[in-house]
Amino acid sequence: MSRAPESAPPARLDHHALERYETAWLGVAAVMTALLFVGVLASVVSGTYPLLDAGSGHAHDGPIVRGRVDPKNLAATPFAKPGLVVDAAGQPLLNDQGTLDAYIVAGNFTFQPAVLRVPAGVPVTLHVTATDVAHGFEVTGTNINAEILPGHVASLTVTFRHPGEQHAICNEYCGVGHHNMITRFVVDPPATGAKETQ
């Protein structure tokens, strides 16, 4: 009866090899800590924050540059006319990328426009900004949810499949009127001529 060949004993790391691994991983941790420190320091010094939208170059955007806007001068931007961008006849106006734009302003414990209307079946980009403090923007029953900061534009492109009525609410505490920040959000039946996608 032959014995199974004895397998070689597992290679054991000696004391010094283990120390080398430990030193290497300590080095990795040190580099990561240093990068984190430099990143935080740089963002504090330059006053930059992560952008929700690093610049959508839409024709309607005007003085919205790389997701930034002057909250004191919204009159010079498309936010001066909150709501869906429409043509002279009041029909939804496609931008050069073939989608719709809607502008929404949060401030003074309200959202403008008073009723947010978008058509179903067409991609629409919701551009949302704030005039005063940080707010939230959530459309109930959807995954549309963003933090809205003065000076910043959150741009969310979505296609609403089903007509209906929901609410847009502020879900970030912004002051005494926070609980009043609730607005009708209406998805209209597909606009005439627009393709319906199901």
Q: Which of 69, 74, 174, 187 binds ligand CUA (CB under 6 A)?
A: 174
Nearest approach, Cβ of residue 129 and ligand CUA (Å): 13
Dihedral Cα 162, 184, 91, 103, nearest 10 deg:
-110
Nearest approach, Cβ of residue 177 and ligand CUA (Å): 8
173 binds ligand CUA (CB under 6 A): yes
Dihedral Cα 78, 53, 55, 149, nearest 10 deg:
50
CA 198 to chain centre: 25
Which residues in 34-163 belong to E strands, given as ranges? 83-84, 100-107, 110-112, 115-119, 123-130, 135-139, 145-148, 154-159
Site mask for ligand CUA (CB under 6 A), range 111-150, x = bound: ------------------------xx--------------
For residue 60, what is the DSSP state? Answer: G
Q: Which of 181, 183, 185, 187 binds ligand CUA (CB under 6 A)?
A: 181
152 binds ligand CUA (CB under 6 A): no
170 binds ligand CUA (CB under 6 A): yes
Query: What is the three-class DSSP state of 62?
Result: coil
- Whichever of 74 and 122 has its CB closer to ligand CUA, that residue is 74
Angle (CA) 139-53-184 rounded to 5° is: 20
Q: Which stretch binds ligand CUA (CB under 6 A): 1-9, 11-19, 41-49, 165-173?
A: 165-173
User: Which residues here bind ligand CUA, judged by CB under 6 A?
Assistant: 135-136, 170, 172-174, 178, 181
